[in-house]
């Protein structure tokens, strides 16, 4: 039993999971302290309000409102859970985008730009292809693949610059982010896709449902009534599994990780480092494009076309999702759901207490900050594991005294026992 636990402890994945959990727990604890301090110093809240805030931070996903007497109630909230999965869908995919780049030694901070280009391609195809001519499900597939392709092509730009000009991919990604923001704004400005039917929404693009195109619910609306959830979460999970297989079970995945570990050694071994750098960023870009495609193909979300002054937060939020998951594609599924859960918790705090959602932003910020030190925490855990392992190892390595041979026995006696006299 102890041997099995010891082997489990020594696994790299175990240490990564524990490091992420420690980061999350510290972040949640800090959030609880902030809520307590704010509540004590706010006469409208007090200790009772602080206690309610703490309960919502740790269990807001399952909050069901208040009773007639004003007491908080908790239970299975299908709407909150369903909305969590809906919000997690793009986070999982942008997290995968960053994780793939991390695994290959690259920092894909260009996910927001890739997300925007995927958004533009998806909406133009979903709204531009008449469903009277092409069946709506086929239009959905075309729009989804178009979004992935647009993201992949935009991701190739920093990959090519890195591979052939040796320009840092972070600088190239920042450049492509703002180019994408202005380009998308220009593409939609004055286009026929702007919502001119509703005067108050003239700055938004039509929902894809305007053309009869939207992601199938696949029965999830029955499981989580009242929520926005659809089959996109299933698509995201399948893509995560496929990425895991690609990175861990295929020759291509091995080559990509080899280039990330040591570009020059990989080249010496016959692996094309330039090709794999470009390919890695293309895969990362396609995943960010897929995130945008699934979000806007839901049919119930609107896109604000004037994006030149800001970048989508979903692209940046993929970074902490990947960090918390230690760039493990399967882990990204859970960290993406966790981050979206915090969004739901923020809404519950705003709706049910005098607190605002910024407290959850602080929690996320602390978790993000600590996730950057997850490697340090992992090394600390490894050090503790080595200390526990060293003690029994030293005991086993200690020399045992020779049996039946007194320490002061004459040389002749020892020679006789060995069978040969000097």
Question: Mapping DSSP to helix (H, G, I), strand (E, B) and coil, where does residue 304 land?
Answer: strand
Is the C-alpha dihedral spanning 286, 292, 298, 303 positive or negative? negative
Return phi, psi of residue 85, to 5°. -65, -40
Task: For residue 203, tell me if it sits in a domain.
Answer: yes
Q: What is the mean pLDDT of the chain?
A: 83
Average of per-residue pLDDT across 384-403: 55
The pLDDT-based confidence of 415 (bands split at 50, 70, 90) is very low
Distances (CA, A) of 241 to 251, 323, 327, 357: 17, 18, 13, 33
Question: Mapping DSSP to helix (H, G, I), strand (E, B) and coil, where does residue 73 land?
Answer: strand
Task: For residue 226, tell me if it sits in a domain.
Answer: yes
Structural domain total, the chain: 1
Nearest to 332 by CA among 234, 229, 240, 231: 240
Cα separation, 399 vs 418, whole angstroms: 19
Task: For residue 291, tell me if it sits in a domain.
Answer: yes
pLDDT at 2 over 60: no
The pLDDT-based confidence of 71 (bands split at 50, 70, 90) is confident
Rounded to 5°, the CA angle 35-41-46 comes to 70
Rounded to 5°, the CA angle 146-150-152 comes to 115
pLDDT of res. 64 = 85
Q: Judge whether 334 and 91 are in contact, CB under 8 Å.
A: no
pLDDT at 144 over 90: yes
Q: At what angle do helices 313-324 and 329-352 cross, to 10 degrees?
A: 120
Cα separation, 352 vs 334, whole angstroms: 26
Cα separation, 178 vs 342, whole angstroms: 28
Lowest mean pLDDT among 82-91, 280-289, 397-406: 397-406
* Residue 85's CATH number: 1.10.3470
pLDDT of res. 9 = 54
pLDDT of res. 324 = 85
Task: For residue 119, tell me if it sits in a domain.
Answer: yes
pLDDT of res. 417 = 44
Predicted confidence (pLDDT) per residue in 212-232, tens digit: 999 999 999 899 998 999 999
Task: For residue 192, tell me if it sits in a domain.
Answer: yes
pLDDT at 246 over 90: yes
Question: Mapping DSSP to helix (H, G, I), strand (E, B) and coil, where does residue 66 land?
Answer: strand
Cα separation, 402 vs 214, whole angstroms: 80
Lowest mean pLDDT among 132-141, 161-170, 205-214, 391-400: 391-400
Task: For residue 10, tell me if it sits in a domain.
Answer: no
Domain span at residue 255 reads: 78-340
Predicted confidence (pLDDT) per residue in 148-202, tens digit: 999 999 999 999 999 999 899 999 999 999 999 999 988 888 778 887 666 666 6
Nearest to 65 by CA among 356, 353, 341, 339: 353
The pLDDT-based confidence of 1 (bands split at 50, 70, 90) is low
- Is residue 160 packed enough to be buried (19+ CB in 10 Å), middle (13-18) or exposed (0-12)? middle
Task: For residue 177, tell me if it sits in a domain.
Answer: yes
pLDDT at 255 over 70: yes
pLDDT at 418 over 50: no
Task: For residue 244, tell me if it sits in a domain.
Answer: yes
Over its C-alpha atoms, the chain yields an Rg (Å, rounded) of 28
């Amino acid at each position: 039993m102890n041997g099995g636990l010891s082997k489990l402890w020594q696994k790299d994945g175990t240490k990564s999971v524990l490091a992420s959990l420690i980061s999350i727990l510290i972040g949640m604890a800090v959030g609880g302290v902030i809520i307590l301090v704010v509540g004590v110093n706010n006469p409208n809240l007090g200790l009772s309000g602080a206690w309610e805030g703490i309960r919502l931070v740790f269990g807001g996903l399952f909050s069901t409102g208040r009773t007639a007497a004003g007491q908080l109630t908790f239970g299975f909230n299908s709407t909150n859970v369903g909305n969590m999965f809906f919000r997690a869908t793009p986070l999982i995919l942008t997290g995968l985008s960053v994780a793939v780049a991390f695994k290959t030694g690259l920092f894909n901070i260009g996910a927001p730009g890739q997300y925007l280009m995927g958004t533009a391609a998806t909406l133009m195809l979903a709204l531009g292809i008449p469903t009277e001519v092409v069946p709506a499900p086929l239009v959905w597939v075309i729009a989804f693949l178009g979004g992935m392709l647009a993201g992949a092509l935009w991701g190739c730009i920093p990959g090519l610059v890195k591979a052939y000009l040796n320009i840092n991919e972070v600088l190239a990604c920042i450049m492509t982010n703002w180019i994408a923001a202005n380009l998308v704004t220009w593409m939609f400005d004055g286009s026929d896709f702007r919502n001119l039917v509703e005067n108050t929404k003239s700055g938004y693009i039509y929902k894809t449902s305007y053309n009869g195109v939207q992601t199938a619910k696949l029965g999830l609306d029955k499981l989580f009534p009242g929520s926005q959830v659809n089959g996109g979460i299933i698509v995201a999970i399948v893509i995560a599994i496929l990425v895991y297989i690609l990175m861990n079970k295929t020759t291509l995945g091995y080559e990509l990780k080899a280039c990330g570990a040591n570009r020059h050694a990989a080249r010496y071994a016959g692996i094309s480092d330039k090709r794999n750098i470009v390919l890695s960023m293309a895969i990362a870009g396609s995943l960010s494009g897929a995130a945008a495609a699934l979000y806007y193909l839901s049919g119930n979300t609107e896109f604000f076309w004037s994006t030149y002054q800001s970048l989508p937060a979903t692209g940046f939020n993929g970074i902490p999702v990947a960090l918390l998951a230690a760039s493990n594609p399967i882990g990204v599924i859970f960290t993406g759901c966790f981050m979206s859960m915090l969004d739901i918790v923020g809404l519950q705090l705003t709706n049910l207490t005098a607190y605002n959602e910024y407290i959850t932003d602080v929690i996320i910020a602390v978790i993000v900050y600590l996730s950057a030190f997850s490697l340090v925490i992992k090394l600390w855990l490894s050090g503790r594991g080595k200390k526990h392992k060293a003690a029994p190892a030293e005991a086993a390595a200690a020399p045992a005294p020779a049996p039946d041979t007194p320490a002061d026995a004459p040389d002749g006696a020892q020679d006789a026992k060995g069978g040969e006299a000097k």
